[in-house]
Copies of this chain bind each other. A is one copy, B any other.
Amino acid sequence: MRVSCCLWIAAAVVLAGQGTPREVSLIITNGTLVTMDATGRILAPGALAVDGRDIVAVDTPQAIAARYRSTDTIDASGSVVMPGLINTHTHAPMVLYRGLADDLALMDWLQQYIFPAEAKTVTPAFVRAGTRLAALEMIRSGTTTFVDMYYFEEEIARTAKEAGLRGVLGQTIIQFPVPDAKTPAEGLARAERFVRAFAHDDLIVPAIAPHAMYTLDGDTLRAARSLADRLGAPVLIHLAETRDEVMVASEKHRATPAEYLESLGFFGPRTLAAHGVHLSDTDIALLQRRGVGVSHNPESNMKLASGTAPVPALRAAGVPVGLGTDGAASNNDLDMFEAMRQGALLHKLQAGDPRVLPASDVLAMGTREGARTLGLQDAIGSLEAGKRADVIIVSMDHPRQTPMYDPLSHLVYATRGDDVRTTIVNGRVLMRDRQVLTLDERAVLTEARSRAKDVRAAVAR
């Protein structure tokens, strides 16, 4: 289908170039187009023609005006137009726990706050309320695709679709009883139903999310992989996030976490490993060989003192590395601009070299490379004709962004999610000039505040 669609577009473009302008659904013009394509093309100014869910052309404003017309045109003067950001790791509903507890040792944080709160508050309605809040925050900060691992993932999928966001959403499988499954077998059955329900969806890629090697036994890990293979679904897993996980793997399996998973035959195509903080050179080579992508979560890894992922080494080895925020309980927000800046700063410091991870690299990780970690590089991650119209328009006129010598520098070092003015996913405008069109913002905030009372009660001592 994708090939025929592209041919059709190509034919239309040729025809459009010869005769009357072609009517399209949306034109965005006069902005600085940061395409994030493989050549790093920037058009200043540039324009974009969108028809339905697709980008049909990327060119100068003059060329687009000559070939296309639309009743809906956005003037992006003074702004950057770029592909929407791809958050490769989060737990959306956990926004309802943000700031519930911070600055604690990891086990105290989990055992005294997060686990009790989850046990007592996670229900389908809670997950919907949390996902609505997360979607609101993501739309407002320019994230157009998010990768999720949580419970009741079908609720997250439905809510994301209503909000208009794209998601690679993984139903969690875990060894101990959790709010949506008493046993891992129940979790696997749930995952299968979830993947079948959302197969062939235009916005949702349903995935299998075995939680981690230290929260699952070998049989369940193998079962998760074979289920994913059977359904053709991507696999999401936490990998080598903490020193503790490495210690567990070493003590129980005399292997690194990655080696242990490899011994189970766990790795396969479209597998995304979140964190990858403590990886040996052998692990990196293994991930590369198996085509596994890594989601780097710099803010979470710093705030929880997990460590620094070997991002330059992973990228040098050819492992696709995207950026993620992690859940907002550990970050504490879903702002991918923060994740990009944090990634750039952290690895310069770590390497002792300010040239490491320049702005263009972290922007690629937030867009094009993020898409590669998901096998979605033909559909999203750059502004190119034939790809889905996942586009954001980012204001560049704040005092903090003045003057502007280089849009890439400003996007990483001086821009916040709040500078995003317009967010478009699959050709649908979700936010226009800071007005979110697909969610009732006031109602979402009111419900979140009401849910917070239950959370507070759940952890009260």
Contact = CB atoms under 8 A, between A and B. Distances in A.
A308 B346 CA distance: 11
B302 A359 contact: no
Given A102-B358, A405-B100, A302 B400 contact: no
A332 interface: yes
Interface stretch (A84-92, A148-156, A445-453): A445-453
A141 interface: yes
Contacts of A307: 349, 352
Interface string A92-109: 000110111111111001
Contacts of A414: 98-99, 332-333
Contacts of A417: 400
A140 B359 CA distance: 25
A406 interface: yes
Contacts of A299: 345
Given A397-B445, A403-B448, A345 B342 contact: yes
Contacts of A355: 103-105
A98 B358 CA distance: 15
A348 B99 contact: no
Interface in A188-241: none
Interface in A385-400: 397-400
Interface in A410-453: 410, 413-414, 416-418, 441, 444-445, 448-449, 451-452
Contact of A400 (B334, B441, B451): B334
A304 B137 CA distance: 31
A441 B402 CA distance: 12
A404 interface: yes
B105 A353 contact: yes
B303 A344 contact: yes
A96 B403 contact: yes
Query: For chain A, which range describes its interface: under 10, 10 to 19, 20 to 34, or 35 or more residues?
Result: 35 or more
Contacts of A98: 403, 413-414
Nearest to A417: B400
Interface string A326-342: 00000111110000001
A451 to B, nearest CB: 7
A66 B13 CA distance: 73
A349 B308 contact: yes
A162 B451 CA distance: 47
Given A105-B353, A418-B418, A348 B400 contact: no
Contacts of A104: 354-355
A303 B335 contact: no
A349 B403 CA distance: 33
B137 A399 contact: yes
A413 B354 contact: no
A301 interface: yes
B354 A109 contact: yes
Contacts of A112: none
A133 interface: yes
10 contacts: A102-B406, A140-B400, A302-B346, A305-B351, A308-B349, A332-B414, A335-B400, A342-B345, A400-B417, A403-B451
Which 6 pairs from chain A and chain B are nearest by CB? A403-B452, A103-B358, A99-B409, A302-B345, A332-B413, A302-B349
